[in-house]
Amino acid sequence: MKYRFILFLSLITSQAFSQTGSLIFFGSGKGMTITAGGIFHAGGMSIIPTEDFTLSNTSLARVPASTAKLSNQVSRVYQFTNPSASFTGILKTEYSDSELNGLSEQDLQLFIFNPNSWYRQLTQTDVTNNSLSSSISSLSLGEITAAVFMPNLILTASSIAENSPLSSKVIDLIGTDENLIEEQFTYSLVSGTGSTDNASFKITGSELQTNTALDFETKKAYSVRLRVTDAYGRFDEKSLSISITDVNEMPSAMAITKSNLYESNTINQAVGTLSTTDQDAGDSHTYSLVSGAGSTDNAAFNVSGNQIRASQVFSFVTKNSYSIRVRTTDKGGLSFEKVYTVSISQLPTLTGTGNEYGTQLQAVASTTPKISKGFTSKLNVSGIEMASFNWSPSASLSSTNTYNPIAKPSQTQTYSVTVTNVYGSSTTLSITVEVMEDWNLIANNILTPNGDGQNDTWVVDNLSSYPNNQVIILDRSSKVIYKKTGYANDWNGLFNGAPIPADSYYYILTFDSSGKKVSKKGFITIVY
């Protein structure tokens, strides 16, 4: 290690240091003598002369000490009044690193100053490696022009609000040193550790200012490296972290899931759900209808939470386009407004096909279709801008997601379909298909049991709709040649296992339905 010891001296009248035992203190007297082994305490430093040591000055007094940089070294600086060039003797300095703010491997130098002149020791003995003390002998002072100490850059904790205008002040830059003349400093941004965001800032005079738009949601902290330079070209550098503080920002946009409603709606039925775009993460918003351009039809609607709702029942033919003005307000009171056009869609219609009672004749499609038991009805939704369909119940329907499924109910059934249009609005329609138990059957009057796959058995169409039946077949003499309960279209013209002659035969179909017996009669012709 290499150390030098630094003192500043100046003159104050009628005061002197004197020594009692090993302690130096302020007092009156002519000059000061420190005996060998005595301790001179100076701002945490202890000076122990190895022989008698005399200061020829009269009335010396010390003012507070400081630690300053000299070039790349740390100097312990003391200031006294009016030094004397005959300041001679042998001193031993003892100190600890704690007195140098933890810095090590530094030089300590002896400096003496009065208002007109600087003095510096000309000789000293180097401290031996790892030694905590040093002997300083033959202290003789030479006048010098100045003692130039390194400047010190003082930075305070810094933050700035987002969205601050360009050239906003971040902090004042402060430079200091131990030079006893009025010092002039310049400041600059320099590259090095911590200079990542230098381009986002600038220096004007002694102010660090913004040089770019700052947005908390984009970047929350910046790092710059700063330099202070004194009049001698010496400098000090430090990095500075700048935090960006969040401020409430106005909502920037508003959206609605849909702005459409089917006519014949219910009161307070939702038109659409609102949402807000806001740079402030986690912000909350309230919504309201407000007057202004585009608010013509505000009275026809209301707001609940984030929903626009209907305040009346709408009719497409009366009016199908409405204008409202909506405001979104954040929790900080800032707001954004937008005009929406609410369209009213015409209800689609739902019909079904049917047939005339007891016949195969198809009736005109209607909202009250009727079909014979075992027959089908083609349901149909007609309208504009329809996007999807959802039918229920699914049983006895050919499809649940088309506009025209086929229904085949075994008894009177009501079907419902929810229709959603291209805007996302939905409405539900219903239709009841009435099933007539009219024993609407068609019996085949030709039987050709030759095994060719055509007319090989006697078939009665729609007979499966009436399973509680009985078939009796008679020949011309009224002899029963076939009889079966629960006929299933399976007689192939045999009697007692043998084919019957080609001829015409008489049949009787009897049904027992709902406690009522019904008969149908006719002829069958067998051809080979």
Indicate the fold that domain 253-338 takes in CATH. Immunoglobulin-like (2.60.40)
What is the reported pLDDT for 108? 44
219-236 mean pLDDT: 91
SS (H, E, C) 121-140: ECCCCCCCCCCCEEEEECCC
Q: Give the residue from 122, 61, 53 showing the smallest Cα distance to 93.
A: 53
| Residue-wise pLDDT tens digits, 417-439 | 999 999 999 999 999 999 999 99
SS3 349: strand
Share of the chain above pLDDT 90, in %: 64
| Residue-wise pLDDT tens digits, 74-107 | 444 434 333 443 333 333 333 333 334 433 333 4
Element holding 474 (H helix, E strand): strand 469-474
What is the reported pLDDT for 80? 39
SS3 477: coil
What is the reported pLDDT for 230? 85
What is the reported pLDDT for 330? 97
15 and 3 Cβ atoms separated by less than 8 Å: no
User: Where residue 181 falls among pLDDT bands split at 50, 70, 90?
Assistant: low
What is the reported pLDDT for 150? 73
54-78 mean pLDDT: 42
The average confidence (pLDDT) of the chain is: 79
Secondary structure letter of residue 248 according to DSSP: -
Beta bridge partners of 224: 240
Q: How far apart, in whole angstroms, are the C-alpha atoms of residue 352 and residue 39?
A: 118
What is the reported pLDDT for 379? 98
What is the reported pLDDT for 233? 82
What is the reported pLDDT for 371? 97
Cβ–Cβ contacts within 10 Å for residue 111, how many?
A: 27
Instruction: Name the class of domain 152-245.
Output: mainly beta
- In single-letter form, the type of residue at position 323 comes to S
User: Where residue 196 falls among pLDDT bands split at 50, 70, 90?
Assistant: very high
Indicate the fold that domain 442-526 takes in CATH. Immunoglobulin-like (2.60.40)
Share of the chain above pLDDT 70, in %: 71
What is the reported pLDDT for 39? 45
Domain boundaries, the chain: 16-144, 152-245, 253-338, 349-436, 442-526
Q: Give the residue from 348, 413, 347 showing the smallest Cα distance to 376.
A: 413
What is the reported pLDDT for 96? 36
322-336 mean pLDDT: 97
User: Cα–Cα distances in Å, from 408 out to 374, 396, 415?
Assistant: 7, 5, 11
What is the reported pLDDT for 142? 55
Secondary structure letter of residue 375 according to DSSP: -
User: Where residue 179 falls among pLDDT bands split at 50, 70, 90?
Assistant: low
Q: How far apart, in whole angstroms, are the C-alpha atoms of residue 448 and residue 455?
A: 5
88 and 127 Cβ atoms separated by less than 8 Å: no
Q: Which residue has the higher pLDDT, 226 or 64?
A: 226
207-229 mean pLDDT: 96
The residue assigned the tokens 């009692």 is: 20
328-340 mean pLDDT: 97
458 and 489 Cβ atoms separated by less than 8 Å: yes
Q: Which residue has the higher pLDDT, 351 or 64?
A: 351
What is the reported pLDDT for 81? 38
9-14 mean pLDDT: 27
259 and 294 Cβ atoms separated by less than 8 Å: no
User: Six-digit token pair at 79?
Assistant: 């200031």
User: Where residue 157 falls among pLDDT bands split at 50, 70, 90?
Assistant: confident
Torsion of CA 393, 396, 400, 402, to 10 degrees: -130
Does residue 468 carry a pLDDT above 50? yes
The model's pTM:
0.62
Q: Which residue has the higher pLDDT, 102 or 184?
A: 184
Strand-strand pairing, 201-204 and 207-210: antiparallel
| Residue-wise pLDDT tens digits, 375-397 | 999 999 999 999 999 999 999 99
Would the CATH topology of 152-245 be identical to that of 253-338? Answer: yes
Q: For the chain, what is the largest distance between any 2 Cα atoms, rounded to a whole number of angstroms?
A: 171
324-339 mean pLDDT: 97
Q: Which residue has the higher pLDDT, 80 or 477?
A: 477
What is the reported pLDDT for 432? 98
What is the reported pLDDT for 75? 45
Long-range contacts of 200-203 (CB under 8 A, 24+ apart): 200/224, 201/170, 201/242, 202/167, 203/173
Cβ–Cβ contacts within 10 Å for residue 29, how many?
A: 15
User: Cα–Cα distances in Å, from 209 out to 71, 223, 370, 389?
Assistant: 30, 13, 85, 63
Indicate the fold that domain 349-436 takes in CATH. Immunoglobulin-like (2.60.40)
305-328 mean pLDDT: 98
User: Where residue 56 falls among pLDDT bands split at 50, 70, 90?
Assistant: very low
Q: Which residue has the higher pLDDT, 318 or 63?
A: 318
Phi and psi at 364, nearest 5°, equal: -65, 140
